[in-house]
């Protein structure tokens, strides 16, 4: 597999791992999202200047208002965070 294919497989596996921890296996509830963020993005959470912004971000992920984050919504988060990190590294 290429690096990009490997990255895609890791994203899918990561989502599925946390989604399967409780409730529906194809969505993340608030607790699962928070656990995923704490375990998979600890540096991001530590770097957040305002913890309330992280909660606001998490609430904003639920685009369809069903109180769950599906894979498409999760990927929007990953893409947005990746763009933010890329922009930051380009400015240095």
Total domains in the fold of the chain: 1
Q: In the chain, what are the helix, strand and coil shares in percent, each to the nearest 5?
A: 70, 5, 25
> Residue 55 sits in a domain of what CATH number?
1.10.238.10
Residue 75 vs residues 69, 70, 72, 82, 87: alpha-carbon distances, Å = 10, 9, 5, 10, 18
pLDDT for the residue 88: 59
Domain holding 66, by residue range, is 3-91
Question: What pLDDT digit, counting tens, does each position of 18-56 carry?
Answer: 998 887 899 998 889 889 988 998 887 777 666 676 667
pTM for this model (two decimals) = 0.79
């Amino acid at each position: 597999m290429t690096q990009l294919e490997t990255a895609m497989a890791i994203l899918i596996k990561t989502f599925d791992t946390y989604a399967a921890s409780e409730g529906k296996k194809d969505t993340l509830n608030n607790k699962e999202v928070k656990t995923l963020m704490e375990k998979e993005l600890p540096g991001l959470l530590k770097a957040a200047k305002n913890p309330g912004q992280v909660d606001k971000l998490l609430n904003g992920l639920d685009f369809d208002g069903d109180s769950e984050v599906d894979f498409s919504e999760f990927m929007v988060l990953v893409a947005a965070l990746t763009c933010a990190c890329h922009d930051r590294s380009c400015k240095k």
